[in-house]
Amino acid sequence: MKKLMPLARRLKPLVSLLALDFARRPRRSVNYLRACLAAARRPTYVRNAPVSLNIEPTTACNLKCTMCDRTYSSDLNLGSLSFDDFKEILSQFHYLLGSHHIQTGLLMTGLGEPFLNKNLLRMIKYAKNQGYPYVHTITNGTVLDATKTQGIIESGLDHISVSMDGATKETFESIRVGAQFEKVVSSIKDLAIKRTTRNKPFIDLNITIQDQNRNELEYVVDLAFEMGVDRVSARVLNAKFAHIEATSSFGLTDEAIASAMQYARAKNLQFRYADDDSDPCVYPWIWPYVTWNGYITPCCYNSDPRNFNFGNLLETSFEDIWNSSIYRDFRRDLVSDTPPEICRRCPKCPSSYTSARNISANNELKATR
C-alpha cells in the first residue's frame, strides 16, 4: 500500500480534472477515458474517437533548415489546405477533447510553415468558434509581423510554438537557413506584449538539439526570458528522419538538462525536455494526421500520402476510415515483431522501443554485476 501512495498522489490532480471535465462535457470525457485505454492496450479495433487531431495547413516552406529532410527532397507534394476543405474535415471530429490542463486538441502544423497558408488565422478562429477548446500551431516565426501577431490574439489561438534552434544570430541562421534572427525575436516579443490582456496564446520556444547548438540550452533560456515567453521545450534531433546520420544525443547529458531546467525555474520559466524514445507510439489509436489535401497518414513523420495513407476525408467519412481494414491491419502490424516498413526506423515504433528498453535494462544489469 505504501508503494502505491506516490502514484495515487500523482494521479489525484488528473482525476480531479477529469471529474471536472466530465461534469461539463460528459461525452468528451468518456471518449477521453476510452482513448487512454486504447493507448495502453493498443487494440486492432478502437471504440474511441481521436482526442487529438493534426491538420496540415500547407507543405510550402520558406526556409532550408539543415536538419530537415524536406530541404533535400526533389519530389515534394506541394499544396495548401483550402478553407472549405478545412471546414469539411473539421466537421467530422465530434468528440475532439481539449483543455488547458490536458493538452490534447487541434494541432495546425505539418511539413511546411503554417503561416504561409493565407487562411490559417481564419481557420483557427473558425475552430475556436465551433467549440474546439485547445488549438495549437508551430511556426518558424519568419513571416510574423505586427498584423499577424494581432491576428493571432484575435483568433483565440491557445498555444504557439516557435522553432528557435539557437540563442545567437550565427547559430540560429546557420541551422535555419533563410531566417533572420532579429526579425523572429522582435515578432515574438511583440506577440508576448500584445497578449497581456488575454494571457493567450501560451508561447513556447522549441529548440532541437544538434551539433551546432548543443551548448546553448541555458542561453536559449536567457533569450526566452528576454522575449517574455512561457516555456522552453527541448528535444534531441531525431536523426532517423533527418538528412544527417547520428547515433548519439549530441553530447547532451542528463546533467545539462537538469541544469537548464533549474536555470529556467530560477527565471520563472517552464522548461520541458521531450525524449522521442520515452514512450512507444500511440498515434494510430488516438491522433490522426490529415494532409493539406485530405488524406489521413500515420503521423507527422510519415506524412506523404503517396507513400502510405488510410483514405481521404474529402472522399470517405472518418467513421468509415477509422476502423477500416487498412487501419486495423496497420495497428496490428505496428505492435507485432514485423511492423510496417515506414515505421521501422522510428524510435517510437513499439518493437524498436521495446528492444531499446531491453538493451538499456541489460546494460544496467551488467553494470551492477
Output the pLDDT for position 63.
Answer: 97
User: pLDDT tens digit string along 7-62?
Assistant: 445 545 555 555 555 555 677 778 888 888 999 999 999 999 998 999 999 999 99
Q: 527532397: which residue's cell?
A: 73
Q: Which residues of the chain have pLDDT under 50?
A: 1-4, 7-8, 11, 99-101, 246-247, 354-369
pLDDT digits (tens, 9 = 90+) for 87-139: 999 999 876 755 444 556 899 999 999 999 999 999 999 999 998 889 999 99
CA distances from 318 to 25, 91, 107, 295, 314 (A): 22, 10, 18, 10, 9
- Alpha-carbon Rg for the chain in angstroms: 21
- Edge-to-edge order in the sheet of strand 231-236: 270-273, 231-236, 202-209, 159-163, 135-139, 106-108, 53-55, 289-290, 295-297, 311-312
Q: Which of 290, 174, 308, 302 is nearest to 241 (CA)?
A: 302
CB 123, CB 108: distance < 8 Å: yes
Please give the Cα distance from 137 to 154 (Å, whole number).
15
pLDDT at 7: 45
Residue closest to 230 by CA, chosen among 280, 177, 268: 268
pTM: 0.87
d(CA 230, CA 281): 28
CA distance 78 to 61: 10
> At which residue does the C-alpha cell 516552406 appear?
61
Q: How many residues are present in the chain?
A: 369
Q: How many CA atoms lie within 13 A of 122 on its CB side?
A: 11
| Mean pLDDT, all residues of the chain | 85
Place of cell 493538452: 103
Among left, alpha and beta (phi > 0; psi -120 to 50; other), residue 65 is: beta
| Selection from 96, 99, 90, 75 nearest residue 27 by Cα | 96
Three-state SS string over 159-204 comes to EEEEECCCCCHHHHHHHEECCCHHHHHHHHHHHHHHHHHCCCCEEE
CB 106, CB 96: distance < 8 Å: yes
Please answer whether residues 120 and 137 qualify as being in contact, where contact means their C-beta atoms are separated by less than 8 angstroms. Answer: yes
Q: How many helices (H) and strands (E) does the chain have?
A: 13, 12
Q: What is the pLDDT of residue 72?
A: 83
